[in-house]
């Protein structure tokens, strides 16, 4: 009995150390890669009255048991922007899911402030069912877009 357990443990250690599991598509930490710059996607005018954030600074897709959390950080031109949200567009035929990083401008004139004081972070949860069809996630602002691919 002890020999069988030790042999099984040895096989598991050898397989996991050689990178087969680590580089496998079965590992949820490999679902999406790092954010990369990408061209913005243009389609019909959205119904949302909010404006696109000036610049998307970062994008991450973090897996969890029921799917993934898409988190983006953007920077508007001044302080006081509010009600930020990642607004999804319809999934295209290539499996590209595009999110517009939308936010309302301040109601009164506000100072520009430092870039760090203007940062806005938003996130959205995607289920595993939705992720089955997605090959690339894009978050776009007014001047740039970032993407993460499987």
Show the domain range for 5.
Answer: 1-27
Residues 98, 130, single domain; the answer is yes
Residues 56, 126, single domain; the answer is yes
pLDDT at 50 over 80: yes
pLDDT of residue 70: 97
**Structural domain tally of the chain?**
2
pLDDT of residue 37: 81
Residues 54, 6, single domain; the answer is no
- pLDDT tens for residues 53-107? 999 999 999 999 999 999 999 999 999 999 999 999 999 999 999 999 999 999 9
Alpha-carbon distance 125 to 135, whole Å?
A: 16
pLDDT of residue 149: 92
Q: Residue 95: is it exposed, middle or buried by C-beta count within 10 angstroms (0-12/13-18/19+)?
A: middle
- pLDDT tens for residues 21-30? 555 555 655 6
Residues 110, 59, single domain; the answer is yes
Task: Say what the pTM is.
Answer: 0.72
**CA dihedral angle for residue 108, residue 112, residue 114, residue 120, rounded to 10 degrees:** 50
What number of other Cβ atoms are within 10 A of residue 2's Cβ?
A: 6
Residues 40, 22, single domain; the answer is no
Residues 45, 14, single domain; the answer is no
Residues 18, 37, single domain; the answer is no
Q: Which residues of 60-79 are buried (b: 16+ CB within 10 A; e: fewer)?
A: bbebeeebbebbbbbbbeee
Residues 57, 3, single domain; the answer is no
Kindly state the average pLDDT of the residues 120-135. Answer: 95
DSSP assignment of 95-120 equals SEEEEEEEEEPPSS------HHHH-E
Residues 35, 71, single domain; the answer is yes
Residues 62, 115, single domain; the answer is yes
Residues 56, 2, single domain; the answer is no
Residues 92, 39, single domain; the answer is yes
The residue among 45, 21, 41, 25 whose CA lies nearest residue 33 is 25
pLDDT of residue 146: 97
């Amino acid at each position: 009995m002890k020999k069988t357990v030790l042999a099984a443990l040895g096989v598991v250690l050898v397989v996991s150390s050689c990178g087969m599991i680590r580089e496998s598509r079965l590992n949820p930490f490999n679902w999406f890669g790092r954010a990369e710059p990408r061209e913005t996607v243009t389609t019909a005018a959205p119904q949302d009255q909010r404006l696109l954030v000036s610049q998307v600074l970062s994008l991450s897709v973090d897996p969890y048991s029921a799917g993934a959390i898409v988190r983006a950080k953007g920077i508007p031109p001044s302080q006081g922007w509010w009600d930020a949200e990642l607004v999804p567009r319809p999934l295209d035929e290539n499996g590209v899911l595009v999110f517009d990083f939308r936010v309302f401008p301040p109601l009164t004139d506000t100072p520009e402030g430092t870039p760090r004081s203007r940062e806005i972070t938003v996130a959205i949860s995607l289920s595993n069912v939705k992720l089955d069809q997605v090959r690339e996630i894009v978050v776009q602002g007014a001047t740039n877009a970032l993407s993460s691919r499987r």
